[in-house]
Structure 1
Amino acid sequence: MKAIQAYRFALDLTPARERDVLAHAGAARVAHNWALARVKAVMQQRAAERTYGVPDEQLTPAVSWSLPGLRKAWNAAKAETTWNGGRLLVAGRRYPSSKTCSGCGAVKTKLALSERQSECEACGLVVDRDLNAARNLAALAAEFDTAGSGPVGGRGADRKTPLAGQAAAKRQHGTAFAGQTGTVPPQGGTTNRVPVQAY
């Protein structure tokens, strides 16, 4: 029977202890301690903020979707949209998507976050707050849409793939392409080639 030696240590390792941990406990324990140190730092930060009187809503977030995580996801969405030939429309930060009635367009002056139903005083429309905001954002995007309607309108379907030269075809050297007859042009070039511009 093998005896397994265990280490009990604080998160602040000396270089000698760190070598021992890497040699005996392995990378899993080091990774666990690294994550534990991050959680401990966030908890200490939140405790310090509470002593300063910071409200709970404004405390340092203890979850992974903090501001850097959201920024990374936003940049990825922008890059993917432009890569696929689409266009990303951004509503202004102060655009009243929740305050505007999706039925008549009337804008409320105040709308508390606790109000989950949006009730229009002008036309009487009662709808879920998030659904109302989604309808308003869809209408805003439709104002700027120039690609046409339908599901392919936003995917860059109006773009044509540029020609990239001749298509690969199995043929004997010196013979014409399928469907073409006549003499083979000189090796320097062909008469039916279209100039291609690289993008």
Structure 2
Amino acid sequence: MKTIQAYRFALDLTPGQERDVLAHAGAARVAHNWALAWVKAVMDQRAAERTYGVPDDRLTPAASWSLPALRKAWNAAKPVVAPWWAQCSKEAFNTGLDALARALKNWSDSRSGKRAGRRVGFPRFKSRRRTIPSVRFTTGAIRVEPDRMHVVLPRLGRLKLHESARKLARRLDNDTARILSATVRRDGGRWHVAFCVEVERAERTPARTDSVVGVDVGIKYLAVLSTGELVDNPRHLVAAQQRMRQLGRALSRKSGPDRRTGRRPSNRWQRAANRLGRMHARVANLRRDGLHKLTTRLAREHGTIVVEDLNVTGMLANRRLARHIADAGLAEIRRQLAYKTSWNGGRLVVADRWYPSSKTCSGCGTVKAKLALSEREYHCEACGLDIDRDRNAAANLAALAAEYDTAGSGPVAARGAIRKTQLAGREASKREPGTASAGRTGTVPLQGGTADRVLAKAHEKVTVVWS
């Protein structure tokens, strides 16, 4: 099975090598800003001509936003715009032009409705001080040295790694991997190189192929499994909050940059900003490490994993919980499970965000009409079940996957679910059509129709991501 995978390694650059990398990143920024100014000038000129009543066939020719067109325009203008262009690799300029071409396409597709998700704004100019230095190489000499502690990149030469690249080197030696590109980027005060590699992965199967586990993510516990396991939330950001406040107060006392007066930051301000950035990077690395260990273990052990389609963006609107939700990385768990289940031969089932996993009783299937967030214990008035709210949700997610025989049936649409809480298919099939649950408070009565129609609605509430 061929797949695209990234290998990221920290670098130990000499001062001269760091200057060369910064020069290449600056060249990418210059090419990006020049091309953006050129595109904006053409767009503004055409808009002004329209206000003068100039017909469309006589307007200034539109500038193409494709990467080949931007590269052609840059090659014609670079002797004047950047007479030093020969000192940097052509890949540096291509990095900035490619980023602009992607940004313009995303903006255009977002305006026309072709791109789903949040609205994308028009590209902005890159600042020398606020932009993260980065340069990507797609051609030329890109290789890992035999000692596995050095890499070779075009124009930058031989760079020392902070850690061994043996995992990537083994695949390259066995002809099971092919490097597509290499990106050098400064993150958290340290330089990294990331290789985009086409990898030939061996077919694998989970340790327990028939195992089905429901995963309910949250804040108190990072994940509650239907097996009864509770994965603690390490809360890395909360643990580092006191130190971050100290570093932030120290930074505020230094003489920082001022765009109004043109004042440049002092050296002490820069050192304090670097200390704060390293602290943020440490928190991010700790969070990433914990999430990778959790998702890898789940993907290797269980054949079917069921998660919810959470609206994390909407959850972040809660000002009381936004910091804790962001610190948990709920969306990252699902993203990692999506590709790790395919790597390990498993299956990921995504329940619709309107599926009432917390409101449904895992014992009898009764659905509550309302369940406050403060109610951490689920009490079923129908069967008398008392269970932790998160364990109940995880059990319902696992049962949801067990009810569907998806072998050979392909994906099941997830957007058919409605926002109104309905009875679970197991409980609805036991009752007469068009009747409510007699003597059971807190449940939602059926709105007419047969039990088969209710069960069909429940079938619309999952998406199956195949390996």
Q: TM-score, normalised by structure 1?
A: 0.46
Q: Normalising by the residue count of structure 2, what TM-score does the alignment of the two structures yield?
A: 0.22
Q: As a proportion of its length, which structure holds more strand?
A: 2
Which has the larger Rg? 1
